[in-house]
């Protein structure tokens, strides 16, 4: 039997290896060979060519033009002349002439007269027209366009009927009725004009969280915290299909506008794409790391957009079933996403702010700050009015294009309810864009409309542009 080999820890072995390496190369420290001057020169020339190559090429072309036109090729060096204001006035010029001071119109000028503005008429200098002169345009500071005037919105009807929080709302494509889902597990259908109850549908065993009405079929789709996704035939008022697959509560759903596809999302951190007729789970869109709170669909790319409590927004490729882009600008949960009905844009709502994005790549456009609450829902109509609803019952009305907040309102809670039940959970415009329907925590449905008596004199735009703040990520 040989001697047992002593075992050392990895830390000890690594330390010994480092020490041996140090001792080996310690004697050679400071004795590196001298640099090759030719190599250094080649490196510097390569660096200069890479950095200043385009400028050198531009100068060469200008010299060729000068030779053809008979202008002097080599201008004397010197400070460039200021064109708008002289420095003696104590103001900073906004543009510099493209000719050195002392040369105007291709002629040598005395230094005292070289400070005179060389840009009176574009293409002309003091000595006459110059073919190679470039007109200087003063760059203006970026400005925000003035927002479009919108009439204020007022509460015109309060509908009671549910005995639980009203969590979702959807409008019929014919604009004759709308439906609401509640924590009382009942789906109620109301007449839009009169506000009267037309029908109650029961079948869910937990809170109804999402509703959609098909524009091409007589179908109503519902989903809830019981993990069930149902398809109701409105000709018979019965459930004709179930879509099984979600592992937890379903919070939102969307119908594709051109194909028979249904998309649902919820607490299992996924969005599921269903074939409306065969009930097949076509895709399971995975990637979010927390509850998927909202989903919208459109005919153009990206056809599916989801937002999540993981503070991200994902754009999905429907054909491939995978994520095209992930937008990480938000810092808090994104509970709502809404598409603009006409523009190729969408908006997202989070407690930090509301953000606008441009499709298809999800380019950030601007922030809409000021609604400092937990935002549950967004709605946008064709007149560029965007409304955000919050957990504290507040509604903010925005001009979509400029981000101007033209109205803030707080609807009173239903008598008998606590002030803490002043939350807005869902909202939707009717298809004319003239009525706003909100689903609230005081168990009521509220309908808002534009004030017909308002005009630009009675409700002027109090507009103060704040570009830097609005463009900040």
| Rounded Cα–Cα distance for residues 206 and 49 (Å) | 70
State mean pLDDT over 213-231. Answer: 96
Instruction: Using the predicted structure, report yes or no on whether residue 86 has a pLDDT greater than 50.
Output: no
List pLDDT tens digits, range 20-70: 888 877 766 666 667 788 888 888 888 888 888 888 888 888 888 888 887
The CATH number of the structural domain formed by 154-202+330-355+367-454 is 2.130.10.10
- Confidence at residue 11, expressed as pLDDT on a 0 to 100 scale: 85
Cβ burial, residue 442 (10 Å; 0-12/13-18/19+): buried
| Rounded Cα–Cα distance for residues 312 and 331 (Å) | 8
Instruction: Using the predicted structure, report yes or no on whether residue 121 has a pLDDT greater than 90.
Output: no
- Confidence at residue 73, expressed as pLDDT on a 0 to 100 scale: 60
Q: Which residue has the higher pLDDT, 468 or 385?
A: 385
**Mode of pairing for the β-strands spanning 345-349 and 354-358:** antiparallel
List pLDDT tens digits, range 137-195: 566 656 667 889 999 999 999 999 999 999 999 999 999 999 999 999 999 999 999 99
The pair of three-digit structure tokens given for residue 115, joined into one six-digit string:
């400070």
Q: Which residue has the higher pLDDT, 121 or 411?
A: 411
For residue 313, CA distances in Å to 193, 346, 349, 439 come to: 36, 11, 11, 24
Give the full edge-to-edge strand order of the sheet including 345-349: 336-339, 345-349, 354-358, 363-368
State mean pLDDT over 326-349. Answer: 96
| End-to-end CA gap in the chain | 72
Instruction: Using the predicted structure, report yes or no on whether residue 108 has a pLDDT greater than 50.
Output: no
- Confidence at residue 9, expressed as pLDDT on a 0 to 100 scale: 85
H or E element, residue 60: helix 37-69
Cβ burial, residue 459 (10 Å; 0-12/13-18/19+): middle
> Does residue 220 have a cis peptide bond before it, meaning omega lies within 30 degrees of 0?
no
- Confidence at residue 321, expressed as pLDDT on a 0 to 100 scale: 93
- Confidence at residue 5, expressed as pLDDT on a 0 to 100 scale: 67
- Confidence at residue 279, expressed as pLDDT on a 0 to 100 scale: 94
- Confidence at residue 116, expressed as pLDDT on a 0 to 100 scale: 39
Q: What percent of the chain has pLDDT over 70?
A: 80
Contact between residue 81 and residue 114 where contact means Cβ atoms under 8 Å apart: yes
- Confidence at residue 266, expressed as pLDDT on a 0 to 100 scale: 96
Domain parsing of the chain, residue ranges: 154-202+330-355+367-454
Find residue 410's DSSP bridge partners. 394
State mean pLDDT over 124-144. Answer: 52
Q: How far is CA 97 from the centre of its chain?
A: 40
Instruction: Using the predicted structure, report yes or no on whether residue 100 has a pLDDT greater than 50.
Output: no
- Confidence at residue 423, expressed as pLDDT on a 0 to 100 scale: 93
Contact between residue 272 and residue 245 where contact means Cβ atoms under 8 Å apart: yes
- Confidence at residue 30, expressed as pLDDT on a 0 to 100 scale: 62
Instruction: Using the predicted structure, report yes or no on whether residue 109 has a pLDDT greater than 70.
Output: no
Instruction: Using the predicted structure, report yes or no on whether residue 118 has a pLDDT greater than 60.
Output: no
State mean pLDDT over 386-394. Answer: 95
Task: Quickly state the pLDDT bin for 379 (edges 50, 70, 90).
Answer: very high
- Confidence at residue 345, expressed as pLDDT on a 0 to 100 scale: 95
Contact between residue 254 and residue 297 where contact means Cβ atoms under 8 Å apart: yes
- Confidence at residue 111, expressed as pLDDT on a 0 to 100 scale: 43
Instruction: Using the predicted structure, report yes or no on whether residue 200 has a pLDDT greater than 60.
Output: yes
Q: Rounded mean pLDDT of the chain?
A: 84
> Does residue 302 have a cis peptide bond before it, meaning omega lies within 30 degrees of 0?
yes
List pLDDT tens digits, range 432-451: 999 999 999 999 999 999 99
Instruction: Using the predicted structure, report yes or no on whether residue 132 has a pLDDT greater than 60.
Output: no
Task: Quickly state the pLDDT bin for 127 (edges 50, 70, 90).
Answer: very low
């Amino acid at each position: 039997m040989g001697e047992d080999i002593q075992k050392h820890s990895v830390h000890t072995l690594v330390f010994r290896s480092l020490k041996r390496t140090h001792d080996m190369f310690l004697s050679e420290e400071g004795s590196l060979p001298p640099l090759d001057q030719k190599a250094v020169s080649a490196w510097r020339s390569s660096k200069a060519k890479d950095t200043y190559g385009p400028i050198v090429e531009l100068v060469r072309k200008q010299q060729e033009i000068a030779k053809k036109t008979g202008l002097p090729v080599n201008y004397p060096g010197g400070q460039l002349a200021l064109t708008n204001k002289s420095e003696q006035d104590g103001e900073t010029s906004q543009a510099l002439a493209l000719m050195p001071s002392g040369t105007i119109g291709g002629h040598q000028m005395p230094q005292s007269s070289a400070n005179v503005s060389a840009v009176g008429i574009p293409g002309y200098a003091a000595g006459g027209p110059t073919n190679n002169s470039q007109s200087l345009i003063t760059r203006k500071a970026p400005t925000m366009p003035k927002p479009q005037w919108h009439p204020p919105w007022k509460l015109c009807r309060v509908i009671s009927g549910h005995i639980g929080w009203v969590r979702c709302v959807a409008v019929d494509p014919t604009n004759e009725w709308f439906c609401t889902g509640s924590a009382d597990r009942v789906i109620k259908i109301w007449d839009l004009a009169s506000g009267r109850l037309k029908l109650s549908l029961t079948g869910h065993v937990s809170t109804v969280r999402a509703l959609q009405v098909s524009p091409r079929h007589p179908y109503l789709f519902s989903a809830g915290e019981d993990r069930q996704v149902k398809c109701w035939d409105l000709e018979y008022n019965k459930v004709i299909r179930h879509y099984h697959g979600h592992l937890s509560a379903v919070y939102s759903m969307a119908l594709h506008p051109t194909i028979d596809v249904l998309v649902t999302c919820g607490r299992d951190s996924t969005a599921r794409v269903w074939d409306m007729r065969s009930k097949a789970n076509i895709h399971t869109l995975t990637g979010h790391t927390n509850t998927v709170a909202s989903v919208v669909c459109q005919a153009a790319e990206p056809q599916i957009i989801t937002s999540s409590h993981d503070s991200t927004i994902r754009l999905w490729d429907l054909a491939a079933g995978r994520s095209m882009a992930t937008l990480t600008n938000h810092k808090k949960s994104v509970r709502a996403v809404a598409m603009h009905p006409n523009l190729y844009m969408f908006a997202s709502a989070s407690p930090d702010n509301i953000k606008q994005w441009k499709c298809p790549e999800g380019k950030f456009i601007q922030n809409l700050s000021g609604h400092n609450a937990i935002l549950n829902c967004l709605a946008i109509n064709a007149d560029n009015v965007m409304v955000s609803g919050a957990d504290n019952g507040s509604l903010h009305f925005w001009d979509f294009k400029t981000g101007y907040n033209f109205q803030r309102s707080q609807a009173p809670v239903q008598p008998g309810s606590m002030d803490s039940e002043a939350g807005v959970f869902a909202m939707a415009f009717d298809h004319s864009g003239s009525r706003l329907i909100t689903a609230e925590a005081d168990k009521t449905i509220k309908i808002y409309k534009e004030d017909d008596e308002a005009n630009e004199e009675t409700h002027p735009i109090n507009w103060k542009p704040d570009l830097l703040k609005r463009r900040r990520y």
